[in-house]
Every structure is written in structure tokens, then in C-alpha cells.
């Protein structure tokens, strides 16, 4: 089983920020005196410390690892053997239709057409009465279609709305709902919900709660895609509408 960030640092999941920093310093000192130096271990320690020290990133990570694993799927039950009508019913129906066509078609071909009545010869040709020419109806020309500009609030706040964001480390998908009143609501897959205040200034997205403020860099923002860099070893959130 893959180790969690708490297991990498060797701390309890409810440990405060001071204990996390102390554990990080202790693990780094152990690596300095190790016989074989592994740069990947130091990188993992740094990443674990930065994520668990930030309240927003830690809350997102805790929500991603708290979701229970799906139980193994049980073996599928053997499907009952189809009956005779289920296997051959459609073929029997098709055969009945073909037999009916072969029986009825020769009778239809052999039946002669009814005699046509003889045309009467008029003693004197009758000149047709000229019909009054009706004026052509006016053609309605559809007015030109004008493009409708998007609402002003969407142009001023391009992040507003609901996004589906995938965490680059855990692979978990959470719902980020940026509301018009400046509230960001994060809903995890297991039903947990957390609210933050957000502010977008250029390429910087600021999230605040009652304890601390965090900033995320907006690397890409188009109509249906947004990439947020959390600043922890290039860790990203890839969001789509």
C-alpha cells in the first residue's frame, strides 16, 4: 500500500504544524548521516512538509485519502440459458414474413388492372377561361442574426461556476464551485464540503478561511479549462467544466 504524507514524515494525521516541521527536520538529519544518499527521499519529505503545512492543501489532501477503497467486485452470477423462443424467435418471425411474400406476390402480379373508361370526344373544343393572376406573396426576409455577448459577470469573473478538479498527486476528483458572492465551495467525492473566500487578481487566485490565506498561480484559464499551481513542487490542479 502506498504511504501517506503523514507516514513519510512519521507524524499523526492530527499533528499540528509545529510537529510537522519538527518531524521534517528530524528526517532530513537522518538522511544526512545515511550511508546511501537518496535524493528522492529528500524531495518527498519537502513535498510532504509543504502540503501538510498549508491549510487549504492539507484539507484537500485529507479529503482525498479519507475516501474508503471500493470493495472488490463479486464474481458475476452465471446468466440463465436463453429459451428456445429467445434464441430463434426473430428468425422464425422473419421466415413467416418471407413465406407470406412468396405466397401473396404471384396473386398480385396475376390480377389484371381494371379497365380504363373510354374518353369522350367533345363536339367543340371549349376554350379555357383565363385565370386572374394572383400577385406574388411578399417574401419575408429574416432579420440578420446578431451575436449575443456573454453576461457581464462572466466576463469580469471567468472562474465563476462549477469545475471538476483532479489532484496531480492523489488522482482524486473534487468539485470546486466559485460563486458570484466570492465564496468557493469545495465538495469531495465522499460528501465533505468546505467553504473559502476567493479573490482573482490577474494570474493570482487567493483563498482565505478563518485561519490562514493561500495563493495559487493560474497557469491556464480558458472557457472550459483551468490549471492551478499550488506552489508545492509544481503540484497542480487540472480543472474542467
SS3 72: coil
What's the pTM?
Answer: 0.37
Q: What does the pLDDT profile of the chain (241 residues) look like in tens digits?
A: 688 999 999 999 999 999 999 999 999 988 888 777 777 888 999 999 999 999 999 999 999 988 655 554 443 344 455 666 677 667 777 776 677 776 665 565 555 566 565 555 445 555 665 565 455 555 554 555 454 454 555 457 888 999 999 887 878 899 999 898 989 898 988 888 989 899 988 889 887 988 878 888 888 999 899 898 887 666 787 999 9
Residue 207: name the closest of 188, 229, 171, 182 by CA: 182
Distance CA 205, CA 216 (A): 5
Tell the residue number behind the cell numbers 453576461, with chain if given. Answer: 151
Which of 21, 38, 53 delimits the end of a domain? 53
- What is the phi/psi pair of residue 221, to 5°? -150, 105
pLDDT at 220: 92
pLDDT at 214: 81
pLDDT at 236: 86
- Spell out a b/e string for 112-149, using b for 16 or more CB atoms within 10 Å of the CB, else e: eeeeeeeeeeeeeeeeeeeeeeeeeeeeeeeeeeeeee
The CATH number assigned to the domain holding 216 equals 2.40.128.280
Residue 210: name the closest of 231, 188, 232, 195 by CA: 195
- C-alpha distances in Å from residue 6, one per residue of 10, 12, 52: 6, 6, 8
Which of 53, 68, 88 delimits the end of a domain? 53
pLDDT at 79: 45
Domain count within the chain:
2
Cell digits for 185? 465551495
Look up the domain containing 49 and give its range. 5-53
Distance CA 163, CA 174 (A): 8
80, part of any domain = no
207, part of any domain = yes
Amino acid at each position: 500500500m502506498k504511504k501517506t504524507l503523514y507516514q513519510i514524515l512519521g507524524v499523526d494525521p492530527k499533528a499540528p504544524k509545529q510537529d510537522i516541521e519538527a518531524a521534517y527536520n528530524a528526517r532530513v538529519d537522518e538522511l544526512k548521516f545515511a550511508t546511501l544518499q537518496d535524493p528522492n527521499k529528500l524531495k518527498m519529505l519537502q513535498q510532504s512538509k509543504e502540503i501538510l503545512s498549508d491549510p487549504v492543501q492539507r484539507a484537500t489532501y485529507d479529503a482525498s485519502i479519507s475516501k474508503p477503497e471500493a470493495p472488490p467486485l463479486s464474481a458475476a452470477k452465471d446468466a440463465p440459458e436463453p429459451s428456445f423462443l429467445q434464441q430463434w424467435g426473430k428468425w422464425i418471425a422473419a421466415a413467416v414474413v418471407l413465406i407470406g411474400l412468396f405466397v401473396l406476390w404471384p396473386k398480385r402480379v396475376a390480377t389484371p388492372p381494371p379497365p380504363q373508361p373510354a374518353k369522350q370526344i367533345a363536339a367543340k373544343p371549349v376554350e379555357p377561361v383565363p385565370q386572374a393572376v394572383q400577385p406574388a406573396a411578399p417574401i419575408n426576409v429574416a432579420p440578420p442574426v446578431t451575436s449575443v455577448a456573454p453576461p457581464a459577470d462572466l466576463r469580469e469573473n471567468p472562474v465563476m461556476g462549477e469545475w471538476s478538479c483532479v489532484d496531480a498527486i492523489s488522482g482524486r476528483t473534487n468539485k470546486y464551485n466559485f460563486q458570484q458572492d466570492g465564496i468557493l465551495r469545495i465538495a469531495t467525492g465522499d460528501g465533505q464540503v468546505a467553504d473559502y473566500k476567493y479573490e482573482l487578481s490577474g494570474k493570482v487566485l487567493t483563498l482565505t478561511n478563518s485561519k490562514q490565506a493561500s495563493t495559487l498561480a493560474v497557469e491556464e484559464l480558458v472557457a472550459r479549462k483551468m490549471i492551478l499551481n499550488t506552489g508545492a513542487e509544481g503540484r497542480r490542479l487540472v480543472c474542467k467544466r
